[in-house]
Amino acid sequence: MKEADWRAQVRDLARLYGWKVYYHPYSLGADAGFPDLVMVRDRVIFVELKGPKGRLSVEQERWIQALDAAGAEWYVWWPDDLDKVEEVLRRPSRDASVSPLSGGTEARCCKTEEGGQR
């Protein structure tokens, strides 16, 4: 699956659950690595989407660290994460059991290059 197709699938699912979705293909003037999507409903989430073999760049890692330090809700999703994506988008608000600085719940964290959770 191409990343563009994955993005369309996530966007459509998000809209189904009432999210406003921001995506801009040309992030001119923005710092490199900014997440692909910003979604707003009853909370704001930042999402980096990856194709099946995609991995995070150094700049994307820096954005994730900055968002995490600010207490933002962020995700990195691959096409095989569809069930997790739907779970997050259905949820009415951030799961109170997830610390914004924990960086470690399965639905919120990113995968390492080796495919494990970090």
- State which residues form the domain around 75: 3-90
- How far apart CA 74 and CA 63 sit, in angstroms, is 10
Range of weakest confidence among 12-21, 25-34, 81-90: 25-34
Q: Is 82 within the bounds of a domain?
A: yes
**What is the three-class DSSP state of 13?**
helix
Answer whether residue 54 is part of any domain. Answer: yes
* Residue 80 included in any domain: yes
The CATH number linked to 30 is 3.40.1350.10
The larger pLDDT score, comparing residue 111 to residue 31, is at 31
Per-residue pLDDT, averaged over 1-24, amounts to 93
The pTM of the whole model exceeds 0.95: no
| Structural domain includes residue 110 | no
Closest to 35 measured CA to CA, from 1, 9, 72, 69 = 72
